Amino acid sequence: MNRDEFENLIALIDDLSQEQRDLLRKALEGENDFEHVVSIIESRLAAKRECAHCHSGNVKKWGKSRGLQRYRCYDCGKTFNSLTDSPLAFLRKKDRWLKMASSLKEGLSVRKTAARCGVSVSTAFRWRHRFLRAAASDKPVKLEGIAEADETYFLESFKGHRQLPRPSRKRGGKAKKRGLSSEQIPVLVARDRQGAVIDAVLQDQSKAAVKKVLSGRLGRDNILCIDGGNALWGFVNDEEIPFKLILADKHVHEKDSIFHIQNVNGYHHRLKSWMVRFNGVATKYLPNYLGWRRVYERPHAVLTPTAWIQAALGRYQHLM
């Protein structure tokens, strides 16, 4: 953290409530992992305390359970705590969540994560996807200015399935057919020049599939750079979005330093290089891994274990 960021942080202390000050003090005093995680969780309701079921503000404290403060809503009569209605609800062993978060920060494999956290491999795998659930849905509402869009492809994978519709492959394997085929799963990536990324696993390579991902997130104030694929071509024409058609050319970036798709292609390269460590990812979990990588790509992202837990609770701003 540089000097300006630290001074801004100090200036914000005046706006903290007493409850927020107490939670901050606990975090700074270096308590054990369990207490630290509890203080992170409790901070979720510190700014605005409302019912997790009906969103009423008419709530009161209602004892404690498993180290967390419980509350009761006097409008709907239900009880809740700071984990209710979050991706981490009902997970146990909170004293090991910081180690789980540090494993996500480092991009460790499931087995290495299990060894670090002292849990089984199946538990580490389940925790990984509970922690990533919020990140998978955290995407910018709109891209700004000049943006680029292109598809990349991953081999369809049934990793973890007990019954496969085809012979198994080892460590990701290779496609039997050359080029694009039904073995490949298309992933659309759209990225603006500020680093904001929208990505999604497409159901197919149709215009309708692209519209489902990008409609409303690009407009006439954008200029979208595309490579001429039929789906993206149809999308920009139907939505009347200004675009630049970038034909395949090794020196396209040298010819035009403004309109190109080098940023999104570079993102594809970093994404695929990073995914190699997992030796193939099940297609049904691919959106979670896209969200995981998207966190790393955030401009000025704060990637501390505390920030990872806050993001897993649905508080995305802490990774910005």
Domain for residue 184, yes or no? yes
Q: How confident is the model at residue 319 (pLDDT cuts 50, 70, 90)?
A: very low
Per-residue pLDDT of 56-97, as tens digits, reads 999 999 999 988 999 999 999 999 999 999 999 999 999 999
Q: Can you spell out the DSSP letters for 194-244?
A: T--EEEEE-SSSSHHHHHHHHBTTB-TT-EEEE---HHHHHHHHHHT--EE
Domain count of the fold of the chain: 1
Domain for residue 299, yes or no? no
Per-residue pLDDT of 188-226, as tens digits, reads 999 999 999 999 999 988 999 999 999 999 999 999 999
Residues 6+ apart with CB under 8 A from 281: 154, 157, 159, 275, 289
Nearest-angstrom CA–CA distance, 285 and 19: 38
pLDDT at residue 301 in the model: 78
pLDDT at residue 13 in the model: 81
Q: In the structure encoding, which two tokens stand for residue 120, read together?
A: 């089984």
Q: How confident is the model at residue 244 (pLDDT cuts 50, 70, 90)?
A: very high
pLDDT at residue 135 in the model: 87
SS3 percent helix, strand, coil of the chain, rounded to 5, is: 45, 15, 40
Domain for residue 198, yes or no? yes
Domain for residue 251, yes or no? yes
Q: How confident is the model at residue 173 (pLDDT cuts 50, 70, 90)?
A: low
**First and final C-alpha spacing in the chain:** 13
Nearest-angstrom CA–CA distance, 154 and 62: 49
Indicate the angle between helix axes 110-117 and 121-137, nearest 10 degrees: 110
Domain for residue 35, yes or no? no
Is pLDDT at 228 greater than 50 in this prediction?
Answer: yes
pLDDT at residue 284 in the model: 92
Domain for residue 225, yes or no? yes
Average pLDDT over residues 233-241: 93
Of 93, 91, 94, 49, nearest in space to 73 by CA: 49
Q: Pick from 151-155, 158-162, 252-256 the range whose average pLDDT is largest.
A: 151-155
Handedness of CA 225, 230, 232, 236 (dihedral sign): positive
pLDDT at residue 44 in the model: 86
This prediction has a pTM of 0.82
Domain for residue 168, yes or no? no
Q: In the structure encoding, which two tokens stand for residue 208, read together?
A: 């309708």
Classify each residue of 267-281 as buried b or exposed e, where b means 16 or more C-beta atoms within 10 Å of its C-beta.
Answer: bbeebeeebeebebb
Lowest mean pLDDT among 5-14, 78-87, 106-115, 173-182: 173-182
pLDDT at residue 7 in the model: 74
Per-residue pLDDT of 24-36, as tens digits, reads 776 666 568 898 8
Is pLDDT at 166 greater than 80 in this prediction?
Answer: no
Is pLDDT at 55 greater than 50 in this prediction?
Answer: yes
Domain for residue 26, yes or no? no
| Beta-carbon-side half-sphere exposure of residue 177 (alpha carbons within 13 Å) | 8
Pairing status of strand 146-155 against strand 223-226: parallel
Average pLDDT over residues 2-7: 72
Is pLDDT at 234 greater than 60 in this prediction?
Answer: yes
> Domain with 203 in it: what CATH number?
3.30.420.10
Task: Check residue 192 and report its DSSP letter.
Answer: E
Find residue 149's DSSP bridge partners: 190
Nearest-angstrom CA–CA distance, 280 and 287: 14
Q: What percent of the chain has pLDDT over 90?
A: 57
Is pLDDT at 18 greater than 70 in this prediction?
Answer: yes
The residue segments making up the domain with residue 211 are 146-161+180-281
